[in-house]
Structure 1
């Protein structure tokens, strides 16, 4: 018996985008009902596991039933490549601000505790944001957009969908956040295009969000004289502006001439 014909890419995109948005809204609403407003560590942990446990199977099911293709296998090498694409320019940005005297950064507590906090936060970022969001937007949706338009157009289309998603779940509630979501998704889209894999954007995403969040007040691991300069410029604008170029350079070094 012949297998059922796959849905049109537009229908697949609509189904998975809607399902992902509803999952996030449901988890957020449940978190609000249990923990209320504001940051809570227990809520962060519970939400991270809930999102991945709901979104990853949904994407896997969509690949098998709607697209009839397998889900991309994990690639630690490309994950590390994406993380390096963020970390190299971020370190350059922070170092430059420190040498110029624009920033002072002090640690709060022992170095071992700070390292453990970074590792714990990276795990939460992977589960709550990086893995599920990249599987949906730079994975499933981007691949289906490629069936409808040129690659560079697909990059901007997935960025528009990612920004709409951020607005719908309340994560992009201001003009500044809308610009950040769109710009971040553009960078992620071009990294996906350059590497041909969703795992490089996952690595970049983990590094980006871990650095941004560990510097903030919720984890209280650092005292910074100008947090806006650190988060928005050294850890934000600089690596977002240079990340794609760094990934391309690292790819060229890995590939034989």
Structure 2
């Protein structure tokens, strides 16, 4: 039953680290009057500083349990080129969503804002999102926890169970924040649960067809920045990359989100199916 202990250890690491990281920003602001960007830096360093070394340490025991240690692990720097694959795929799918919405008359582009208005905020947020969200979540969930589940279950069930663990991490941290008197980091509702459930499946499938966690990390990071600086802007005190008029409020965000997540799932399934067909044919 070691695999259950590793699941609990990995899941607990993510929950505890996310809670401590989110709280560290508020504590630094209250005690030292830290600026928003300083809070972001502290949160990112705490999150990755806790999750990454612990998960990599646990990974060695997972390899002993499975009896298989790959020559090039899924998190290896030698697979870093797949990071670009994930980034470009997210940008391409989001762009396709905007083009379709514009062609159908659902949105009308109004203005492209010059980069000097948002570039610095974007770079800072990329660093924050990488260390606070994309890197630790992918190496923990789509990495170690999935590999432990795959040791015991078939692929489709492992993907499903990993995604449920992904959802449960967010819910658990929100509940802990409420219990200790803090405002939850996100508003938990049925729409948000469905969103992150589909997002988790998409990210796991991306790792499967490339064999690299860096694909998931790149896609995860690009998705967050597109959301924050194009689809749902004005959260960071700077103009968005692009402004557009919507025929129905929220339709631009809905189409872009669906295109990135559902499109990512479809692309991954097509590629996995093609690889399986070729493998059977040889």
TM band (smaller chain): 0.7 to 0.9
Contact between 1:85 and 1:244, CA under 8 Å: does it hold in 2? no
Aligned to 1:189: 204
Q: Which residue of 2 aligns with 1:217?
A: 234
- Rounded Cα–Cα distance in structure 2 between residues aligned with 1:119 and 1:243: 24
**Aligned partners of 2:20 and 2:46 also within 8 Å:** no
User: What is the DSSP-based 3-state SS (H/G/I as helix, E as strand, rest coil) of the residue aligned with 2:234?
Assistant: coil
Q: Is the 8 A contact 1:163 1:172 kept in 2?
A: no
- CA deviations 1:27-62 (Å, max 9, x no partner) are 2223233437xx933322221122111111111111
Q: Secondary structure at the match of 1:225?
A: strand
Matching residue of 2:83: 79
Find 1:167's aligned residue among 171, 178, 184.
171
Q: Among 98, 101, 119, which residue is 2:105 paired with?
A: 101
Unaligned segments of structure 1, at least 5 residues = 1-6
Give the Cα separation in 2 of the matches to 1:247 and 1:116: 33
**Counterpart in 1 of 2:152?**
148
Partners of 2:128 and 2:23 in 1: CA distance: 19
Distance 1:58 1:105 in 2: 46
Q: Is 2:41 aligned against 1:26?
A: no
| One of 1, 4, 7 as aligned partner of 1:10 | 4
Deviation for aligned residue 1:106? 5.0
Counterpart of 1:147 in 2: which secondary structure? helix
Aligned counterpart, 2:55 = 59
CA shift for structure 1 position 9 = 1.4
Q: Partners in 2 of 1:81 and 1:175 — Cα distance?
A: 31
RMSD over aligned CA atoms reads 2.8
- CA–CA distance in structure 1, aligned partners of residues 42 and 111 of structure 2: 27
Question: What is the aligned partner in structure 2 of residue 3 from structure 1?
Answer: none
8 Å CA contact 1:114–1:221 kept in 2: the answer is yes
Paired residues for 1:122-161 under 5 Å: 122-161=126-165
* Secondary structure at the counterpart of residue 91 of structure 1: helix
Q: TM-score, normalised by structure 2?
A: 0.77
Give me the whole-angstrom Cα distance separating, in 1, the residues matched to 2:127 and 2:270: 27
Give the match's secondary structure for 1:146: helix
Deviates more, 1:23-32 or 1:162-171: 23-32
Is 1:48 equivalent to 2:52 in the alignment?
A: no
Cα 1:186–1:34 shift into 2, 3 Å: same
- State how many pairs are aligned: 246
Unpaired stretches in structure 2, ≥5 consecutive residues: 175-185
